[in-house]
């Protein structure tokens, strides 16, 4: 029993890399069924592959599914309604600080109290008894309930001074009480407000600077260093940069050539490295500014208005706002469709404004990556996929998967298994042999289990191939001596000692076998009925296996493949992996296929055979004149003489000593009688097999006919 332990991906694991051999095995299996390299590579790119080792290569569809799942998780996770919560909280804190500071100036004993400060303008304020403390009336520092020390001011005991102070306090508190409820309105009014408490003023300035930095960094990634302090000087530089950028975009719209190089010399430090031209810069701006626009599009109308008011309130420079508006308009004209993304974010987890803009950026990037993956699926080309972006959005495992997909065709090309043919790929001869070997392995693998059709011959004698068996030497034998056995025979007869004295009877020689030269034509029926039930695919698989067998073990043999339906086509072995030549319908012309096979074999010596793979009897034939030199190329569909003319051709093959072995993939009575008649005339064999068994019969009979032991 095997035990497996699964852990969450933490970035330290590696996706097991596949090899060119793994890929080739899968391609071989797929092409033996389909026969189209383009479709095979497309399926592997899209859906991955299961390797014999048990590992699985992910495909583009897997990456696409992961991407869509990640997007749905983000949409179901966050709550855009909370984007102003942290800003509201900071505003409430600084307002509380301001109120406490005001109250300390009016009534030091109330400073720091937990309850809200009383309004000095209320009727009860005048009648309220003054708070007392242990330090009242004593010179020196006064102490509030919160313990905040406050020095005595020179005018504390001056009634006029206190009247002025109370008037100022009432004005400030009235301003604070009438602040708008929305974030944008509060920031706008507080910019006009004269803080009395320095700490509150500092908190507001920090909040304002933080929001300005966040807004600008969302538009122009790379400004972190130059926006450490949002000073008037830095804002002036920012306005000038956006003005120059707008001028360059206006020039592009007018058909002019913008001075991009000088612009980048002046402002390039504010943009990421790697931007080489204006188009790349516009793509970057579209991505960055799209964050804010997508956030606005995804908000409710009320929240959208709040965000727009807030942006207006933090940048009160009218010229700057105008330049930003021009920038958005120019980008929309140069990049149609900019800012149209809208997302239904409906989760529960709070998110800050900065996090919300980052979320919008990630969702926009996911949309762009989705289009890249879809385009890769359509074009069957992964070279344009940004694997770094895949890793950023989906994690390290997904990045490794994407890189492996990009390496797939390059790995096969470097291994010498595929090569370019125009815009498509084609198999190399080496790959074709590997596919044939795969077919051979598949078919012989089943033979090892059930040994279908094993008709072994046992003849020994003169030959060209040495066997492992030995025999006593007889005069006339080839002197393939087994030296160890021969010396051992002498020692057994004479006993140990030197020199070793050997006699003729001590010698043993290896037995040999003779291999005859064989020329074979595979006649592959591609009529309409053969396309059903996997019959044609089985026949094609057998032809590939035979080709591999002959190339590897019997290089002096000849093999042709003749495909036929209503016409006849002689194929090169590598064409078996294509399907463009397949044309079924119009009848089954066995007679013309036999004639062309006979002409091919007439040029060969040695054993000659035709392997006919079909599922029915002839339905058409080709007429012939009295001499074969004037053979007429006119076919007659379903002529009554089709079977008769076919049997005449069988007789001609028999006279030329060509054996016809027929593998019938159908058991109908009419077809069976035709095959039996042909076997009687030719003295060949007739087999009735299913698509699963046909390869076992053909290959095993071929090998046995090759071996002839001569006594």
10-residue mean pLDDT series, the chain (711 residues): 51 60 80 73 84 78 92 92 90 92 69 43 39 38 42 60 79 88 88 90 90 77 52 80 91 90 87 86 83 86 86 79 86 78 89 88 90 87 88 90 85 83 77 76 60 39 58 78 88 86 87 75 88 81 81 82 91 79 83 94 89 87 56 50 90 94 74 83 84 72 59 35
Q: What is the pLDDT of residue 126?
A: 39
Q: What is the pLDDT of residue 91?
A: 92
Q: What is the pLDDT of residue 117?
A: 45
pTM of the model: 0.59
Q: How far apart are the first and last CA of the chain?
A: 54
Instruction: In whole angstroms, give the CA distance from residue 537 to residue 30.
Output: 11
Q: Which residues contact 79 (CB under 8 A, 6 or more apart)?
A: 345, 346, 347, 348, 349, 350, 351
Q: What is the pLDDT of residue 142?
A: 40
Instruction: In whole angstroms, give the CA distance from residue 531 to residue 525.
Output: 9
Q: What is the pLDDT of residue 500?
A: 87
- Is the distance from CB of 215 to CB of 315 less than 8 angstroms? yes
SS3 262: helix
DSSP 293-348: HHHHHHS-HHHHHHHHHHHHHH---HHHHHHHHHHHHHHHHHSTTTT---------
- Is the distance from CB of 51 to CB of 464 less than 8 angstroms? no
Residues belonging to the chain: 711
- Is the distance from CB of 412 to CB of 671 less than 8 angstroms? no
Instruction: In whole angstroms, give the CA distance from residue 586 to residue 314.
Output: 80
Domains of the chain: 20-77+370-427 (no CATH), 78-118+150-346 (no CATH), 458-515 (no CATH), 518-708 (3.40.50.410)
Q: What is the pLDDT of residue 34?
A: 64
- Is the distance from CB of 565 to CB of 525 less than 8 angstroms? yes
């Amino acid at each position: 029993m095997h035990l497996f332990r699964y852990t969450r991906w933490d970035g330290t694991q590696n996706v097991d890399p596949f090899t060119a051999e793994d890929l080739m095995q899968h391609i071989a299996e797929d092409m033996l069924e389909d026969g189209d390299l383009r479709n095979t590579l497309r399926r592997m790119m899209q859906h991955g592959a299961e390797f014999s080792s048990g590992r699985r290569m992910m495909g583009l569809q897997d990456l696409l599914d992961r991407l869509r799942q990640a997007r749905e998780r983000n949409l179901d996770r966050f709550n855009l309604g909370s984007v102003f919560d942290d800003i509201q909280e900071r505003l409430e804190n600084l307002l509380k600080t301001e109120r406490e500071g005001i109250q300390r100036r009016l009534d030091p004993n109330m400073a720091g109290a937990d309850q809200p400060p009383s309004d000095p303008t209320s009727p009860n304020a005048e009648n309220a008894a003054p708070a007392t403390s242990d330090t009242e009336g004593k010179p020196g520092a006064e102490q509030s309930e919160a313990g905040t020390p406050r020095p005595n001011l020179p005018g504390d005991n001056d009634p006029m001074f206190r009247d002025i102070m109370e008037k100022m306090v009432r004005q400030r508190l009235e301003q604070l009480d009438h602040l708008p409820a929305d974030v944008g309105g509060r920031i706008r009014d507080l910019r006009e407000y004269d803080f009395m408490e320095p700490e509150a003023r500092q908190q507001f300035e920090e909040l304002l600077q933080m929001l300005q930095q966040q807004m600008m960094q969302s538009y122009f990634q790379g400004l972190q260093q130059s926006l450490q302090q949002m000073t008037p000087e830095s804002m002036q530089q920012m306005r000038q940069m956006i003005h120059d950028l707008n001028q360059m975009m206006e020039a592009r719209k007018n058909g002019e050539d913008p001075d991009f190089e000088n612009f980048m010399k002046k402002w390039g430090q504010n943009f990421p490295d790697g931007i080489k031209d204006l188009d790349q810069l516009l793509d970057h701006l579209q991505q960055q500014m799209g964050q804010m626009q997508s956030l606005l599009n995804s908000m409710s109308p009320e929240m959208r208005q709040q965000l727009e008011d807030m942006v207006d309130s933090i940048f009160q420079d009218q010229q700057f706002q105008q330049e930003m508006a021009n920038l958005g308009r120019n980008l929309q004209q140069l990049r149609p469709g900019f800012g149209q993304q809208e997302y239904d974010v409906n989760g529960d987890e709070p998110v800050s404004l900065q996090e919300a803009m980052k979320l919008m950026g990630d969702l926009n990037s996911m949309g762009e990556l989705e289009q890249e993956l879809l385009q890769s699926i359509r074009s069957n080309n992964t070279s344009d996929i940004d694997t770094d972006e895949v890793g950023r959005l989906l994690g390290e495992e997904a990045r490794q998967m994407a890189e492996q997909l990009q390496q797939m065709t390059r790995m096969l090309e470097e291994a010498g298994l595929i090569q370019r043919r125009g815009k498509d790929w084609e198999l190399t001869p080496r790959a074709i042999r590997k596919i044939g070997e795969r077919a051979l392995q598949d078919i012989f693998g089943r033979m090892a289990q059930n040994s279908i059709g094993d008709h072994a011959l046992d003849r020994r004698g003169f030959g060209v191939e040495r066997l492992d068996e030995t025999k006593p030497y007889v005069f006339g034998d080839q002197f393939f001596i087994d030296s160890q056995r021969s010396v051992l025979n002498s020692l057994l007869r004479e006993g140990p000692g030197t020199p070793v004295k050997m006699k003729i009877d001590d010698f043993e020689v290896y037995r040999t076998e003779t291999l005859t030269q064989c020329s074979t034509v595979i006649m592959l029926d591609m009529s309409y009925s053969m396309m059903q039930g996997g019959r044609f695919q089985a026949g094609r698989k057998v032809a590939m296996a035979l080709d591999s067998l002959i190339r590897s073990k019997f290089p002096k043999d000849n093999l042709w493949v003749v495909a036929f339906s209503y016409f006849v086509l002689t194929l090169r072995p590598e064409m078996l992996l294509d399907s463009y030549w397949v044309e079924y319908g119009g009848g089954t012309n066995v007679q013309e296929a036999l004639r062309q096979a006979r002409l091919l074999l007439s040029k060969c010596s040695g054993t000659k055979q035709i392997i006919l793979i079909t599922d029915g009897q002839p339905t058409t034939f080709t007429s012939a004149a009295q001499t074969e030199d004037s053979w007429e190329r006119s076919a007659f569909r379903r002529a009554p003489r089709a079977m008769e003319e076919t049997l005449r051709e069988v007789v001609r093959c028999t006279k030329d000593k060509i054996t016809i072995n027929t593998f019938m993939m159908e058991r109908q009575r009419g077809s069976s009688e035709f095959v039996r008649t042909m076997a009687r005339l030719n003295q060949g064999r007739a087999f009735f097999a299913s698509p699963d068994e046909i390869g076992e019969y053909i290959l095993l009979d071929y090998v046995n006919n090759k071996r002839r032991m001569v006594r």
